[in-house]
Structure 1
Amino acid sequence: MGFLIDSEALVKEIVGLTSGYMPRDICALIIDAGAHLFPKVNKDVPDDVDSSFSFKMAVDNNHGKDSP
């Protein structure tokens, strides 16, 4: 349920900030705001991860803290 609350707050913030914006500005704003939904992860991932995926993802257990 916490995710729904965060998404709702994000949508309200975007709607409040987009008054008078051009469409390309709105796209850039939404992309930038969406980037802040997920914590930045700069961690090593073991090489034995299934290589059928085109990307690798690691779990960040220190959400909200800066990566070293």
Structure 2
Amino acid sequence: MTLHPAADYIFVLIQGEASRPLMEEFQQSALWRNLPAVQAGQVFKVPSNYWMASGAIANTKKIDDVLQAIVK
């Protein structure tokens, strides 16, 4: 996982149940808790089914997800 410390938004994709405990552990870390996007409540979980895909339909759904998350 690559994180940019000054990111305004974080989109989290967890692929597979084996990854879930690792993400939960990471979310307890000081690094995670001190990220500006985390502190601002701007972390969004996204589904892996189309976020891991490419093509017009998948890309349109990704754009829709991002817009829904950031446009208030």
TM-score interval, normalised by the smaller of the two chains: 0.3 to 0.5
Greater gyration radius: 1
Relative to its length, the structure with more strand (as a share) is 2
Q: TM-score, normalised by structure 1?
A: 0.33
Relative to its length, the structure with more helix (as a share) is 2
Q: TM-score, normalised by structure 2?
A: 0.32
